Amino acid sequence: MSIIFLFLWQIINVITLNATYPNSVPRPLYTDRVLPFIGKNLIKVFTGQRRVGKSHLLFQIIAIIKEKNIHSNIIYINKEDLAFRTIQNAEDLSAYVVEHQIKGQDNYVFIDEIQEIENFEDALRSLLLDSSIDLYCTGSNAELLSGDIAGKLSGRFIEVKVYSLTYQEFLTFHQMDDENNSLQKYIKYGGLPYLKHLPLEDTIVFEYLKNIYSTIVFRDVINRYAIRNTPFLEQLVFFLASTIGSIFSAKKISDFLKAQKVNMAPNQVQIYVSHLVNAFLIHQVKRYDLEGKRLFEIGEKYFFENLGIRNSLWGYRPQDMGKMMENVVYNHLVAHNYTVNVGILGGNEIDFIAEKAGEKIYIQVALSLLEEKTIQREFGNLQKIKDNYPKMVVTLDSFSGNTVEGIVAIDLKKFLMNIK
């Protein structure tokens, strides 16, 4: 392929990308994590649920690179685009990149939904040998970097987990002020970026979210794992949607569904749950024994990656507000790179232990602190923890006042705007 043709192809490719995504809102929460690694001999991998904005992040990185080096050669592959259907395996991928790279220039390769390419890790490992090639990719399955694949790429990649919009991002995308009505919309509709293009009305948003749910389930679960018992899978998702924030084991889920005339052995329940987790539809949160300093092997909480999808399936119900608050708090913490577990201290539960950079925060979530027994329970559990890390109770109540033995009461809006 001639140099002139390659140059023209590069110009057309970049123009096409810019035309496809002309109004991409910056998300520095993620791009800032990648900036130190641009040009480094490491694969930059964005993982996360479909439609959380991974492709837009690739284009934002492309824009940053082109701003710094207008002569950089951008090679972009999107496996959801039929134009790239001939790239089926590692050999195809490697051949395509080699054909379109420009010798003597910096080549930046961006591959969207790379899990659709068979044995892609072999191609990535081979392409890394060329110091003129800088690699970026996205994937919508947690197995992308698990097991043998991670072993083959060990020490050669960094992973950036991408989540639905945080509350602050939601306000920016929708050009809203930080008000109670904005928070209610965020809790109801969730934070998929494309919602900025839709009227925030139940019938429109929930129809869109149901379609996204169907895409995730059929493409990333049913088709990927050759699921036969699709009715049970649907029942399982609805059950998890109804019980966010509750502690369950595979056996308890199996027993409950059996009472609903839906029979499935606990080991099969666990397999199906793991598929949903791998597709980033739900998050599984382990329990941590604060006294024994260990994770429990059974009994977890489940939260939805996108609360809007959950509400589109189960309904947005006032009586579920406490559960939804807990889901929102969890999503906020993981989006800001915290490792999160449920705390167990004797017979008491701490909603979240959030850890980052060697520091911890203990968090309880309560719908309201207007009743004395609620205050005693939520603050009392935290008072039993005998260390000096910050402790707080997150509530919907607007509150400004003194702490309880150093434990802070903070309203949900303030938590979402200030905890980073």
| pLDDT band with cut points at 50, 70 and 90 for residue 42 | very high
pLDDT digits (tens, 9 = 90+) for 14-38: 444 444 444 689 999 999 999 999 9
Q: pTM here?
A: 0.92
Asked whether the predicted pLDDT for residue 128 surpasses 90, the reply is yes
pLDDT digits (tens, 9 = 90+) for 155-192: 899 999 999 999 999 999 999 999 999 999 999 999 99
- Per CATH, domain 3-161 is 3.30.230.70: no
Give residue limits of the domains in the chain: 3-161, 167-418
> In this predicted structure, what is the pLDDT of residue 260?
77
Helix/strand/coil (H/E/C) assignment for every residue in the chain: CCHHHHHHHHHHHHHHHHHHCCCCCCCHHHHHHHHHHCCCCCEEEEECCCCCCHHHHHHHHHHHHHHHCCCCEEEEEECCCHHHCCCCEHHHHHHHHHHHCCCCCCEEEEEECHHHCECHHHHHHHHCCCCCEEEEEEECCHHHHCHHHHHHCCCCEEEEECCCCCHHHHHHHHCCCCCHHHHHHHHHHCCCHHHHHCCCCHHHHHHHHHHHHHHHHHHHHHHHHCCCCHHHHHHHHHHHHHCCCCEECHHHHHHHHHHCCCCCCHHHHHHHHHHHHHCCCEEEEEEEECCCCEEEEEEEEEEECCHHHHHHHHCCCHHHHHHHHHHHHHHHHHHCCCEEEEEEECCEEEEEEEEECCEEEEEEEECCCCCHHHHHHHHHHHHCCCCCCCEEEEECCCCCCCCECCEEEEEHHHHHHHCC
Neighbours of 57 (CB within 10 A): 24
